[in-house]
Amino acid sequence: MLKMKLLCVFMLATFLKQSAGADCYTGNAYTKCDDCDSDCFTSNVCICSDNSTCLPSTCDLDPSNCCPVEFSWDSSKACCTVEKTCNRICAADEECIFQDDNKICECNKSMYTNKTKQDLKPVVICDSDIISASVSRCLVQSLGYDYNSFYLNNASSGCVYHYNNITNNQRLDTYQLDAKQGWCGNIVTNDSSKIYVTNTVHFNTTPSLLITKNPIAFNITCGYNKTLQTSLQFALKPLIRYV
Ligand SMILES: *[C@@H]1O[C@H](CO)[C@@H](O)[C@H](O)[C@H]1NC(C)=O
Ligand SMILES: *[C@@H]1O[C@H](CO)[C@@H](O)[C@H](O)[C@H]1NC(C)=O
Ligand SMILES: *[C@@H]1O[C@H](CO)[C@@H](O)[C@H](O)[C@H]1NC(C)=O
Ligand SMILES: *[C@@H]1O[C@H](CO)[C@@H](O)[C@H](O)[C@H]1NC(C)=O
Ligand SMILES: *[C@@H]1O[C@H](CO)[C@@H](O)[C@H](O)[C@H]1NC(C)=O
Ligand SMILES: *[C@@H]1O[C@H](CO)[C@@H](O)[C@H](O)[C@H]1NC(C)=O
Ligand SMILES: *[C@@H]1O[C@H](CO)[C@@H](O)[C@H](O)[C@H]1NC(C)=O
Ligand SMILES: *[C@@H]1O[C@H](CO)[C@@H](O)[C@H](O)[C@H]1NC(C)=O
């Protein structure tokens, strides 16, 4: 009984310590962003105009990018604390983990244990000039494929345009095609009223996997009215290359 009580006290103590959070860093290893012409909005760290890292008191970035690496952003206190917390914004199907001191979002594998290739259904958006196909990153990974290894009919690295974002609580990778004849192996066909642009997205297996699997591939096709006056009706969207 006594042991039980002690345990409870101990647990309460750790809980209080966690919820109290760590102290704001008050040292002077870095300039305060308020004291320099700073940017905590557009870059991927808080920097002064001379590019030196600074300590913010407000920050619009992903919290994992607000502070110098040895600190963590505490939004309730609006400061950088000395405690290292994995506070990166991850999707609901990911978890934040430390890897070599970096905060990364890693897939929660247990959410995808029963998935098969049939679940991999890309969502295709046909804009007049750009075709986008989005798939769940964690699904691709849990099926044993490397989402970074994607390539098109023309496997040149000059044909690799993709980005990722969080949509509906999932990390989506979006692959883009330029809807033009002759672009990166596009296959263009037509019937009496429409022109169809098709390309194939391929993924290789995750290199660390010992089991051999065939690479996976899916076709993306968009149909366009023959009369469509593309550039007159739609603003041209740029292809996005994410590294
Ligand atoms: C800050 O970094 C940017 C991008 O790397 C560079 O263009 C700029 O010249 C740098 N500014 C200073 C003051 O070093
Ligand atoms: C991962 O997913 C499982 C199953 O949905 C869930 O029980 C678990 O809490 C998740 N883990 C994290 C760290 O979110
Ligand atoms: C996977 O399937 C097993 C057996 O049908 C089931 O017990 C388990 O809950 C399923 N897991 C998920 C994450 O759906
Ligand atoms: C593949 O694409 C690259 C980059 O766009 C281009 O330079 C090359 O000529 C293409 N190859 C073929 C066989 O179309
Ligand atoms: C993420 O990408 C998808 C697919 O391109 C797009 O529809 C969506 O608007 C994007 N979401 C955000 C929050 O940028
Ligand atoms: C494809 O377009 C060409 C030129 O407009 C036309 O002559 C041909 O009949 C079309 N093909 C089909 C299968 O309709
Ligand atoms: C993709 O389309 C090409 C050309 O239309 C076809 O030959 C191929 O079988 C298709 N591949 C898949 C995976 O559907
Ligand atoms: C394409 O043609 C169909 C039938 O002629 C028409 O209903 C549709 O609005 C057209 N779409 C565009 C984007 O012009």
Tell me which residue of 71, 75, 76 sits closest to 55, measured CA to CA: 71
pLDDT value of residue 25: 93
Q: Using CA atoms, how far apart are residues 95 and 206, in angstroms rounded to an integer?
A: 20
Q: Is 154 in the pocket of ligand 4 (CB under 6 A)?
A: yes
Predicted structure pTM score: 0.76
Strands (E), the chain: 31-32, 38-39, 47-48, 54-55, 72-74, 79-81, 94-99, 102-107, 123-126, 130-136, 162-167, 170-178, 187-190, 194-203, 216-225
Instruction: Please tell me the distance between residue 166's alpha carbon and the centre of ligand 5 in angstroms.
Output: 7
CB 184 within 8 A of CB 154: yes
Lowest mean pLDDT among 103-117, 163-177, 215-229: 215-229
CB burial of 194-226 (b: ≥16 within 10 Å; e: otherwise) equals ebebbbebebebbeeeeeeeeebebebebebee
- For 10, the enclosing helix (H) or strand (E) is helix 2-20
CB 71 within 8 A of CB 25: yes
Which pLDDT tens digit goes with each residue over 78-133? Answer: 999 988 788 888 999 999 998 887 888 999 999 999 999 889 989 999 988 899 99
Measured from the Cα of 189, ligand 7's closest atom is 5
Neighbours of 138 (CB within 10 A): 24
CATH 2.60.40.3210 residue window(s) in the chain: 117-242
Q: Is 159 in the pocket of ligand 4 (CB under 6 A)?
A: yes
Measured from the Cα of 111, ligand 3's closest atom is 13
Q: How confident is the model at residue 22 (pLDDT cuts 50, 70, 90)?
A: confident
Architecture of domain 117-242: Sandwich (2.60)
Residue ID of nearest Cα to ligand 7 atom 1: 219
Measured from the Cα of 113, ligand 3's closest atom is 13
Instruction: Sort strands 187-190 and 194-203 into parallel, antiparallel or unpaired.
Output: antiparallel
Measured from the Cα of 163, ligand 5's closest atom is 2
Q: Which residues line ligand 8 (CB under 6 A)?
A: 225, 228
Q: Is 108 in the pocket of ligand 2 (CB under 6 A)?
A: yes
